[in-house]
Structure formats: C-alpha cells, structure tokens
Copies of this chain bind each other. A is one copy, B any other.
Amino acid sequence: MVNLDRLFFPEHVCLIGASEAALRGVTPYLFALKKVNFNKPIYCVNRKKKKVMYGLDAYPSILDVPGDIDYAIIGVPAEEVPQLIKECSQKKVKYVTIFTAGFSELGTEKGEKLEAELMKNVTNNLRIIGPNCLGPYCQESRLVNTEIFEIKEREGHVGYICQSGGHTSAFYFIGENRGFPFNKVVSIGNQCDLTIQDFIEYFTTDPKIEVISCYIEQVKKSTQFLGILEESSKKKPIIFWKGGHTIEGELAAASHTGAMSSSYEIFQSAIKQHGGIITESMEEMADLTLGALYLAPKKLGKNVGLVVAGGGASVELTDEVAKLGLNVPELSLDTREKIRELIPEVNTYDRNPVDLGMYGWFVSVFSKLIRYIAEDPKIDILIFQFMTERAPQFAERLNDRHIEKSFLKRIKRVVKTVSIPFICILPNFNIIDPEITKIRKAFIDELTNIEVPHFPSTYRAANVISKLIEYQKFLDK
C-alpha cells in the first residue's frame, strides 16, 4: 500500500506557477488555501516574478525554496512540466499534483509523449497525482484544491476518488448539502502514476472514512485493481459510477481500449464480483453514498413498512418498492388494531402501506404510528414520506410554526429506541421557492443528525436498499 499520509496532511505546500492572476494556472489553489486559513507554510514558485497574489514572495525555482517540501502543485504550460518534475525529484518532494492538462487525455501523439517524458524524470520516490486533475482535498488538514471546496463544520466520513475535475466539485456540492460530507477527496486525472486503487487502498485503512465513492473513466492495471477492490470491499462499501457506458460515451471519454474499458458489461460484472457497488449516474452515486453511510452498518431486510399521508402516494410508494423486489407485508393484527385506535377508517389504510390521510400531519399520531410499525416483527425497514412543500400550509392550519421541527423531534425519539433502519422520502416538487428551501434545509440537517437517509423518491430509496442487500450478501460469503 502507498502511504499517503503526507499527501493529505502535508507539512509544507509549494505552488509552482503561482502568479497574481487569481483565475490562472495554479493560483486558484493559493486563493482557496488562504480562504480556508490553511495553516502550514505555502511556498510559491514563479520563474519571472518575485511577488505573487497576496504580496507573497516567489522563488524562481522549487530548488530555491529553503527547507523541505512535502507536496507541490504544478500549474504551468504542459511543455514545462517534465523539467519541473525533474526539479521536484531533486528537491525530494514527496507528492506532486499536476493540475496542467494537455497530456495523454488529448489522444494525440504529442500528449502521450509529454506524459511519458515527465514520468521518465521521476526519481527519489516522488509520486504523482494526475496530470489533468485537481489533486487531493482533506477536511481535517484544510488542504483544499479549488475555491469550490470549503471546510464545513460537520465531520465527513466519505472518501471520494474522481477522474474528472468537474464531477469532483459537483459531487462535493451534493455531498455537503445532502448529508454526506467528505473526509477526503482526490481528483486523479490521467493516473500516470498513482491510480484509483492506490487511493481505495489508502482510504480503506483510514478509520474516519466509512464509505468510498468513485467516478472512473478508465482503470489502469486491472488485475491489481480488482484484487485491491475485493480486499477493500470486505471492509467498506465502495461505490462506482463509470463514465463511458456506451460506445458513444467511450468515444467521448477517449479511453484507451483495455479489457476493462472496452465493454461496460465486463466492467460492471467485474466490479460486482469483487464486491463493488455499481451506479449509473451521479444522482444514483449520491443516493448510494448517503444510503451506505447510514444503512450499511445495519442488517437490512426486504420487508418494508410504508407510512404516508395520501392514497395516491401510498399506491405510488408501494409500486416503487415492489418494482425493485422488496416486500410490503401486511402488518400484524396487533399493529393494525393499534393503528385503528389512532385514525378513523375513512380515507386511510392500516394494512401496509399505512395511509394516514390528513392524520399524517398530526405529529403525535404520526410518531406513535411509526413506532408501532417499526416494532412489528414483520417489518425490516420503515419508510415514511414528508412533504416539505405542504409544511407551510399545515404549519398555519395546525398553528405550529415549525411543524417540520416538531416532526423531527418526535421521529428522533422513535429512531433512538427502535432498532430497524428508517428512511425518509422527501419529494422535490418545488426547488425554486426560498421558503420551502429553508424548511427543507432544516429538515435535512436534522435527518442527518439522527442518521436517517432521505431520497426524493421511493424508487430511489428502494434501489439503495436492494443494492445494499446485495452488498451484504457479498460480505456474508
């Protein structure tokens, strides 16, 4: 295993190609590191200028920097990179991220050559991330890799490895807002040296990381990759989204034709056989990451209890879980009797799905009911729906200004004392009303506090459950 401690926790960072232009080359790293008060020395290298952004001094070469450098980031024209790699090697830098693009990803002979050339200049155990990538992010050490990355308060437990810069930041956004903040992220680019499997292996040994998610376009050294995947999957859920599913997509990914990338079916089945979890889109990867974080540690079963306010919605939820092979068993008579003590017969249903009708908005009825259903021995998982869009109206009707908080308070009590997992369905009917957004944020924050994952549709929740059940089967083998 490659020990990457000093990459994610460097004692000193050097920015090669820093300038005064906040938007160019490696300078955005400087902007970003200053923004989050990164508290280790940052050295800047600029061949021509003595001063760069923030009035910092610049050295003409990394060789002029006094003292050691753990980690350097290169952002200069591609042609200059091989020479700089030689200098970084001389300086005994431990890790270099090559932000610069214009190498093998172009698919041109020139690009390929340049990449091969830079690798020839590596000595003294220098390890390279990239080229054509953002490199590492670490929440704890405040090592950010663009101004998009901020340091949020909530401790992250997800590790993310990504072959695309854009998908790195997009997924970062999703995770931070959806309830699975990141502990460590790495954008790996062309993988000319360090590969996805090096990071998977390292993240697997990291006690703070509970789930690993990966966006990948190409696997290098596929036998090694599969071996590491299998060993790592025994310890943590590892989720994959592959770019270039289709022939058209592969052309777009411009991937080289290796055994792994030539057929998506082969890739998919190899991943599954070795314990990985396959997803088909960024949204699905987000669903699985959130789900794995909170559900994978629990024993999952196929029998779902559904609690919802509305007949149509109860049909909808039932269809969606049944489509994915889960069961909606009829509740025990005992549970049904308890339900009937709380809600009348008209416009409701007590067998499962439990349709509460209007009573779904009465917080004490709702909370008693989810407890009864969760305690029913026939039920393995409880799924309930909450419509943030309707909350303002019911807040007014029921004279409870923060009705969403009242719900969460009660749900928290039930979740804490009942052993089965809970899932919340939170439809996104309205994504453009700032008021609804605030309610949704409060709701999601609290759900995250009590470790209840949320999904915008039951289909997506059921998909997560069924994929995690498959993963648990792999673990049980």
A residues near B, CB below 8 A?
22-23, 78, 101-102, 105-106, 132, 147-148, 162-167, 169-170, 173-174, 177, 215, 217, 243-249, 251-253, 281-283, 309-316, 318-323, 327-328, 345-347, 349, 353, 387, 389-390, 393, 397, 427-434, 437-438, 440-441, 444, 456-457, 459
Contacts and interface: CB of A to CB of B under 8 A. Distances in A.
Given A170-B387, A346-B102, A315 B217 contact: yes
A165 B310 contact: yes
A321 B245 CA distance: 11
Nearest to A435: B434
Contacts of A441: 432-434
Copies of this protein chain in the complex: 2
Contact of A434 (B101, B106, B249, B438): B438
28 contacts: A23-B397, A102-B346, A105-B311, A164-B310, A165-B312, A166-B309, A173-B389, A173-B429, A177-B429, A177-B430, A177-B431, A177-B433, A215-B312, A217-B312, A217-B315, A246-B319, A248-B322, A248-B327, A249-B318, A252-B318, A252-B353, A281-B459, A282-B316, A428-B428, A432-B440, A432-B441, A432-B444, A437-B437
A459 B349 CA distance: 35
A283 B437 contact: no
Contact of A315 (B23, B249, B316): B249
A321 B248 CA distance: 9
A431 B433 contact: no
Given A315-B252, A318-B249, A440 B431 contact: yes
A430 B174 contact: yes
B166 A312 contact: yes
B430 A318 contact: no
Nearest to A326: B248
Contacts of A315: 164, 217, 243-244, 249, 252-253
A311 B107 CA distance: 13
B431 A316 contact: no
A431 B436 CA distance: 10
A252 B314 contact: yes
A105 B314 CA distance: 14
Top 7 A-B residue pairs of the complex, sorted by shortest distance between their CB atoms: A164-B312, A166-B310, A249-B319, A246-B322, A167-B312, A432-B441, A243-B315
Nearest to A349: B252
A101 B346 contact: yes
Nearest to A147: B393
Contacts of A78: 346
A77 to B, nearest CB: 9
A414 B170 CA distance: 28
A219 to B, nearest CB: 15
A459 B166 CA distance: 18
A177 B432 contact: yes
B313 A167 contact: yes
A277 to B, nearest CB: 18
A347 B101 CA distance: 6
